[in-house]
């Protein structure tokens, strides 16, 4: 417990929101360049504009953190080095990172840069936080899905600064673990180009529903508990939101941080933040109403009363002014119609607003306020021509690239198979594979018999895989499981988070699965330095990126059902089959494993027809993954034959492999 006042951290997507954050009372801001940040669709900042912003912020004793929180493709290493060099010269207060390749280059060649672990890194327990701290990462941005008891334990055990999202939009999937946007068209959420798949309407039986659209996060009611835990930084989401949003939200949280007695006044202020309905999510202890029927933002202020050729009319008790922006919603249609409030007439509380969209609007449509214009904020940060020249550190790009260049010997060919339950073991012939990855549920591990004759006779081939999410309460279970299995001869593990190596006994052979992203040679080098034996390339990878890498020692997944959403939040589809479809009639299914909701496509990704090409250029280690497969009589025999013959599988998709990951 501590009485130290936490930092209030505000989102900045452009110059207006920068000034809004400062005027709203932010102690620090986070913002992105036009490269390598997870809000690629925000305006973001050019390098000269960022230099101006940092100077102005530091004049006000406001810290500036720069988001470098996307995954880096191998051909982007040159550009990354330039960005890191610039930020190092600019003396920003920290950079927020996701990619272990960015970590490796920044830590080794730009040691003065302060590193924060992005929420995209997936840290959700004290082991993750303290592993990051041991690597010199000063602060960890925690996963949004934590309960209050979990947060309390992490705060008690933490050896690093903790940052927590207290307000703003929520992603349905764990950050860093969403593949839906990437699967839907190559625009990866981990690359800053999220298509917001969780906000879309899906065909659920005979109806359309926003199955996965969460309400917005609001932790005002839990703020004092969070402050008492000593959380270092309270983060507001919203780099794509308006300056008015940033100002209103900052001001409300600043008000309560300065004077807890003003909670009611702050809550009223937040009612006009023009976001979605609010939830306190897992921290509040009740997620039963976490899903919203309307995925779009806006505050409902009235209904259309009359439509003429050039005007719409509606009644609202909320005072409106020129410059406000409205959204007109017809619940039976998916169109987004926006109307700017200007040159309006007001009779009592009846507004008459001119618009050229009147023909598309109907009586009874909802009117939502989506943007205020409570005050103006400057869009100018200053004259870039007056900027002083930055004192730059000499950077030897060739030295950096040579440090990550791989020159090891080719590995022996290898075929791995992953299964998601014990029932699959009877379907396999161990002699067909070089390794078998057991990716079991907790209950399966509880019933696992390490002395089983078949398993013992093949223990050198068996790899034990840990899940992507291990709650604080389950850390000891997996630590004890690893010790118990290692004592019985099962001493080879695949981990889903680099920190999970801490849970393994001394002498264990550790490999990383595809959730520990290796999209570049620097990330591969970072894993090598961590004594990681093997790694699996990401499922959303593409052929061009694979070919660009010098390190070709990784395992290429050739057959799998990608986990498009991986979420702690339950959903309730109307269909008992738990099937749904998108607007193109692509079908998906929902499964629940250990309390985690997983969405799979109904057809696999199959890349066997690329096998010969891959082998010719040095990739000879492959994975067949059945963990998302529905078991059928001949699936193992059929798929293995396709692999051996390098044949395509029908029906299937190649994900991003050919079309590319943007």
DSSP string of 565-619, one letter each residue: EEESS----S-TT-EEE-TT--EEEEEEETTEEEEEESS-EE-GGGHHHHHHTT-
User: Which pLDDT score, from 0 to 100, does residue 112 have?
Assistant: 97
The whole-number pLDDT of residue 465 equals 99
CB 486 within 8 A of CB 450: no
**To 10 degrees, the CA torsion angle through 639, 640, 643, 644?**
-140
Query: Are the C-beta atoms of residues 21 and 248 closer than 8 Å to each other?
Result: no
pLDDT for 90-108, tens place per residue?
999 999 999 999 999 999 9
Q: What is the pLDDT of residue 1?
A: 41
Nearest-angstrom CA–CA distance, 107 and 257: 34
CB 27 within 8 A of CB 252: no
Of 554, 550, 619, 547, the C-alpha closest to 402 is: 550
Sites in the chain below the pLDDT cut of 70? 1-3, 40-42, 331-334, 373-374
The CA-based angle 142-148-149, given to 5 degrees, is 105
pLDDT tens-digit profile of 562-607? 999 999 999 988 777 899 999 999 999 999 999 999 999 999 999 9
Q: What domains are there in the chain, each with its CATH number?
A: 7-170+215-274 (3.20.20.70), 299-371 (2.40.10.170), 412-562+604-644 (3.20.20.60)
pLDDT in tens, 389-444: 998 888 999 999 999 998 777 889 999 999 999 999 999 999 999 999 999 999 99
Tally of residues, the chain: 662
pLDDT for 42 equals: 66
Q: Got the DSSP string for 600-614? A: EESS-EE-GGGHHHH
Other CB atoms within 10 A of residue 387 CB: 14
Tokens (6 digits) for 147: 């309960």
Helix ranges (DSSP H) in 369-452: 397-404, 442-446
Mean pLDDT of the chain: 94
Nearest to 355 by CA among 310, 320, 306, 325: 310
**pLDDT 10s digits, 418-429:** 999 999 999 999
What confidence score (pLDDT) does residue 483 get?
98
Contact assessment for residue 422 and residue 444, using Cβ atoms and an 8 Å cutoff: yes
Q: Can you read off the two tokens belonging to residue 58? A: 């530091």
420: exposed, middle or buried (C-beta count within 10 Å: 0-12, 13-18, 19+)? buried
Provide the Cα torsion 440, 445, 450, 452; round to 10°: -70
CA-CA-CA-CA torsion sign (174, 209, 240, 101): positive
Q: What is the pLDDT of residue 574?
A: 76
Omega within 30 of 0 (cis) for the link into 275: no
Place of tokens 């034990």: 464
- In the block, residue with structure tokens 């996965």: 212
Overall pTM surpassing 0.85 (yes/no): yes
């Amino acid at each position: 417990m501590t009485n130290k006042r936490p930092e209030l951290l505000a989102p900045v997507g452009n110059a207006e929101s920068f000034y809004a954050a400062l005027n709203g009372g932010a102690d620090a801001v986070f913002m992105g360049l036009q490269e390598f940040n997870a809000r690629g669709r925000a305006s973001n900042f050019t390098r000269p504009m960022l230099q101006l912003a940092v100077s102005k912020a530091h004049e006000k004793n406001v810290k500036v953190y720069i988001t470098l929180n996307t995954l880096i493709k191998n051909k982007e290493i040159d550009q990354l080095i330039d960005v890191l060099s610039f930020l190092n010269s600019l003396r920003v207060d920290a950079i927020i990172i996701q990619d272990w390749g960015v970590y490796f280059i920044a830590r080794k060649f730009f040691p003065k840069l302060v590193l924060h672990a992005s929420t995209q890194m997936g840290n959700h327990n004290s082991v993750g936080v303290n592993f990051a701290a041991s690597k010199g990462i000063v602060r960890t941005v925690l996963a949004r899905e934590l309960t209050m008891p979990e947060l309390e334990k992490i705060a008690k055990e933490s050896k690093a600064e903790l940052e927590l999202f207290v307000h703003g939009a929520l992603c349905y999937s764990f950050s860093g673990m969403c593949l839906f946007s990437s699967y839907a068209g190559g625009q990866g959420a981990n690359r800053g180009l999220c298509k917001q798949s969780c906000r879309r309407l899906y065909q659920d039986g005979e109806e359309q529903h926003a199955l996965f659209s969460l309400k917005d996060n609001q932790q005002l009611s839990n703020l004092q508990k969070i402050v008492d835990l000593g959380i270092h930084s309270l983060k507001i989401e919203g780099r794509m939101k308006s300056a008015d949003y940033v100002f209103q939200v900052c001001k409300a949280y600043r008000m309560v941080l300065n004077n807890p007695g003003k909670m009611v006044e702050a809550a009223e202020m937040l009612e006009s933040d023009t976001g979605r309905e609010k939830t306190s999510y897992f921290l509040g202890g009740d997620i039963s109403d976490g899903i919203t029927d309307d995925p779009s933002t806006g505050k409902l202020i009235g209904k259309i009363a009359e439509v003429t050729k050039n005007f719409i009319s509606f009644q609202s008790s909320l005072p409106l002014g020129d410059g406000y922006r409205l959204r007109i919603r017809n619940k039976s249609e998916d169109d987004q119609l926006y109307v700017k409030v200007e040159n309006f007439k007001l009779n009592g509380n009846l507004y008459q607003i001119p618009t050229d969209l009147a023909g598309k609007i109907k009586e009874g449509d909802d009117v939502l306020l989506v943007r205020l214009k409570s005050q103006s904020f400057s869009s100018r940060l200053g004259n870039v021509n007056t900027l002083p020249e930055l004192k730059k550190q000499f950077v030897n790009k060739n030295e950096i690239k040579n440090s990550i260049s791989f020159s090891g010997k080719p590995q022996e060919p290898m075929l791995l198979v992953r299964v998601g339950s014990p029932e699959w073991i009877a379907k396999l012939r161990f002699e067909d594979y070089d390794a078998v990855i057991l990716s079991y549920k907790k209950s399966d591990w509880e019933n696992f018999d390490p002395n089983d004759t078949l398993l013992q006779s093949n223990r050198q081939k068996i790899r034990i895989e840990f899940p992507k999410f291990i709650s604080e309460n389950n850390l000891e279970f997996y630590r004890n499981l690893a010790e118990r299995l290692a004592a019985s001869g099962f001493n080879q593990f695949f981990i889903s988070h680099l920190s999970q190596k801490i849970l393994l006994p001394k002498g264990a052979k550790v490999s990383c699965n595809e959730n520990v992203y290796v999209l570049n040679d620097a990330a591969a080098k970072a894993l090598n330095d961590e004594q990681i034996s093997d790694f699996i390339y990401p499922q959303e990878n593409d052929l061009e990126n694979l070919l660009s890498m010098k390190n070709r020692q990784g395992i290429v997944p050739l057959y799998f059902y990608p986990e498009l959403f991986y979420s702690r939040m339950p959903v309730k589809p109307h269909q008992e089959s738990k099937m749904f479809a998108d607007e193109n009639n692509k079908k998906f299914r929902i499964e629940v494993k250990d309390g985690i909701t997983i969405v799979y496509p109904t057809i696999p990704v199959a890349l066997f027809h690329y096998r010969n090409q891959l082998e010719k250029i040095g990739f000879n280690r492959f994975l067949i993954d059945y963990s998302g497969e529905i078991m059928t009589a001949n699936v193992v025999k059929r798929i293995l034959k396709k692999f051996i013959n390098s044949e395509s599988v029908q029906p299937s998709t190649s994900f991003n492999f050919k079309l590319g990951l943007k």
